[in-house]
Structure 1
Amino acid sequence: MTVTIALCVTAVAFVFICGANDGGALLELAVRHRGRSAGLLLTLLVLAVGLGPDLFGLTVARTFTGHLGQGPPDAARLVFLAGAGASVLLVLLLAWRGVPTSLTLAVLGALAGADVSLGIRPAWGSLGMVLAVGTVAPLVGTGAGWFIGRAMHLLPSLHGMPRIVSVLQLTAFGCQCLAYAANDAQKMFAVVAVAFAGDVLMPQPWQVGDAMVAAVFATGAMTGARRVARGATSRLLTTRPWQVMSAEFASSAAVLSTAGFGMPVSMTQSVAGGLVGTGVSEGSRRVRWQYTLPLLTVWLVTLPAGFVAGALAGLILKGATSW
């Protein structure tokens, strides 16, 4: 009973941090160059997250619950308690210290560390494939951002262009919301499913759980938007509306293309890649390259730190449950 309560509390905290970290970043970038209200954009994002399992299934979530390690149900619950809890604490600590981070990388590393400390053999091959795809995705976003940026320069000036641009902006953000729901957001559903439904995901979408995830995510997103405004991504270049739109389309393509294969990819990293590509399409001097270094720090710090934190949390839980 104690493990169940702790896991449920951890799941809610994990979803909240996802909203603050991921949702806040997406909202801040979208609101900055749009005349539309933040409430409308938040509604679109939350609807996409809540309807994600119905629209796209749970392929990516099943990667977290079944493809990164194998063990009995009780052990799996301890792994997720240790992994999700450690990743939340790590992201909060790194954010407090001003170190760029990624919750997706933190939870992947923490789950692997928890597996090891709890005597479960991680699926190193699957984990390696996930990390390889996660490394390539921002580069794909960069290439797509460059291509879309160049294409934007070739568009002729048309009558009613402001209205066309406004529609394209909303479409780009909508695509980004759907891509996030299809891929990166599903780490939340994996943790929630293990906490509230046992070791397996529901065969059909769980509407009550989906609504709960969406509500907690929305609260986190509203809390995190202002904090994220000071992040490295927002300083990569002096953005204009068409550049934000190009980056959103580019990151959507990079993230959505991997969802069907069950490969979790960080949306915020893909957005950063899209912004870099869009900036380079106007010349390399448009990009403030010094702000790309923190994005590399995410991989060099968050992933190994997540592994260590997850392993320590697993050892603590192992000792506590053996008393």
Structure 2
Amino acid sequence: MPLDTVTLTTVAALFAVVSGMNDGGALLATGLKLPSIRPATGIMTMVIMIALIPLMTHRVALTFVTKLASFEGPGAKTAMTVAVLSALSVVTFLSHRGRPTSLTLAIVGGLTGAGLGWGLTVSGRAVALVLAIGLAAPFVGALGAWVVSRLLQHLSSSTALASWHRVGFMVQCIAYAANDGQKMLAVFMIALGFSGAPLGVTSLISILFGMGALYGMPRAGRTLSREIIVSRPLHGVAAELASGVTVIVCATAGAPVSMTQSIAGGLIGAGVSQGGGRVRWYAALKIVIAWALTLPASAILAGVAAFVVKGLTS
């Protein structure tokens, strides 16, 4: 097996673990105050969905592979390696500080920067569309959570809330596996040169993700569940339902959307439904700043690194 293939495959595995660290805690965070789903059960559900959903649809993975930049030809795998490592560097830095950021933004920035630095074809239109949808997703999630929160206040008793939580969490897991989680599959597609979703590969990705989720859940989960709003179980359930539906709708169009951003927006919307004072705006602002830094930092780092590596290897 060529060295660039081995290197990119190893990086793809690392990317799946970091995705679990960053995204796994965010997926579980909204329900930490409800005992209806234990963390171990939640992680197992995520692992199963990540393994199985791409077998039915992997449109978002194909968007990453074919529409943002053309990673084909000599050196393309090396450029992809640079893109992923740059995205990982930025996200790991923020994750270790308990600031869950968007891996989708990071990988889009990394792909764009590495493509430009290596001299590959980059679709500015596709990148702009992904960014526009990604920017809109937290606001749509917030609006949806506001509506759902108001409905649940009138339609649900405290006993029924646990059932709504199970439904919301399942919707959220399906949404992640159909959309945001497919960035992991996309890297393996480039590394191993396939265009489908083999069960063996998706199973490996899901296991690596689960390992990362176990490690990163306490930090990332705490940030969303405790720092953004003075959270009540109702807020978490509303955020799950709204963010899950938002991300699934985007998946049907093959548009990558960050689950973390949608969940954060949903929590804020649910909090605002009962008064803006429940939202810790300072903590929310810090997360927004992390999002704003993620893409340009990943793009610049990847662009410079790709330019240097190509110069050294050509």
TM range, normalised to the smaller chain? over 0.9
Contact 1:34 1:241 in 2 (8 A): no
Which region of structure 1 is more displaced relative to structure 2, 65-74 or 228-237?
A: 228-237
Whole-Å separation in 1 of the counterparts to 2:207 and 2:214? 11
Alpha-carbon RMSD across the aligned residues, in angstroms, is 1.8
Q: 2:204 aligns with which of 208, 212, 233?
A: 212
* 1:147 to 1:304, Cα distance in 2 relative to 1, 3 A: same
- One-letter amino acid of the structure 2 residue matched with residue 4 of structure 1: T
Whole-Å separation in 1 of the counterparts to 2:67 and 2:278? 41
Contact 2:146 2:270 in 1 (8 A): yes
Residue 11, structure 1, aligned to residue 3, structure 2: no
Deviation at 1:122, TM superposition (A): 1.1
Which region of structure 1 is more displaced relative to structure 2, 135-144 or 28-37?
A: 28-37
* 1:189 to 1:69, Cα distance in 2 relative to 1, 3 A: same
- Matching residue of 2:296: 304
- Matching residue of 2:180: 184
In structure 1, the gaps of 5 or more residues are none
Deviation at 1:276, TM superposition (A): 0.7
- Matching residue of 2:130: 130
Contact 1:144 1:277 in 2 (8 A): yes
- Matching residue of 1:195: 191
Residue 139, structure 1, aligned to residue 133, structure 2: no
* 1:20 to 1:156, Cα distance in 2 relative to 1, 3 A: closer
Whole-Å separation in 2 of the counterparts to 1:2 and 1:156? 57
Deviation at 1:120, TM superposition (A): 1.1
Whole-Å separation in 1 of the counterparts to 2:198 and 2:313? 30
Q: 2:223 aligns with which of 231, 256, 273?
A: 231
- One-letter amino acid of the structure 2 residue matched with residue 53 of structure 1: P
- Matching residue of 1:315: 307
Whole-Å separation in 2 of the counterparts to 1:226 and 1:66? 35
- One-letter amino acid of the structure 2 residue matched with residue 272 of structure 1: A
- One-letter amino acid of the structure 1 residue matched with residue 138 of structure 2: P
Q: SS where residue 31 of structure 1 aligns?
A: coil
Whole-Å separation in 1 of the counterparts to 2:224 and 2:170? 23
- Matching residue of 1:119: 119
Deviation at 1:99, TM superposition (A): 5.5
Contact 1:24 1:220 in 2 (8 A): no
* Alpha-carbon displacement from aligned partner over 1:206-234 (angstroms, at most 9, x marks no partner): 01101100110100000110121442563
* Alpha-carbon displacement from aligned partner over 1:273-294 (angstroms, at most 9, x marks no partner): 1111111111111211112212
Contact 1:233 1:272 in 2 (8 A): no
- One-letter amino acid of the structure 2 residue matched with residue 5 of structure 1: V
- One-letter amino acid of the structure 1 residue matched with residue 48 of structure 2: L
Whole-Å separation in 1 of the counterparts to 2:225 and 2:301? 26
| Residues 11-90 of structure 1 aligned to structure 2 (within 5 Å) | 11-55=12-56, 57-90=57-90
Deviation at 1:121, TM superposition (A): 2.7
Whole-Å separation in 2 of the counterparts to 1:253 and 1:149? 14
- Matching residue of 2:232: 240
Whole-Å separation in 2 of the counterparts to 1:71 and 1:9? 18
* 1:247 to 1:100, Cα distance in 2 relative to 1, 3 A: closer
Deviation at 1:71, TM superposition (A): 5.0
* Alpha-carbon displacement from aligned partner over 1:151-203 (angstroms, at most 9, x marks no partner): 1122265xxx61x322211111000000001100000000011112x2x412x
Deviation at 1:266, TM superposition (A): 0.4
Contact 2:141 2:269 in 1 (8 A): yes
Deviation at 1:320, TM superposition (A): 3.9
Total equivalences in the alignment: 313
Q: SS where residue 292 of structure 1 aligns?
A: helix
- One-letter amino acid of the structure 1 residue matched with residue 23 of structure 2: D
Q: Percent sequence identity over matched residues? A: 35
- Matching residue of 1:273: 265
Residue 257, structure 1, aligned to residue 249, structure 2: yes
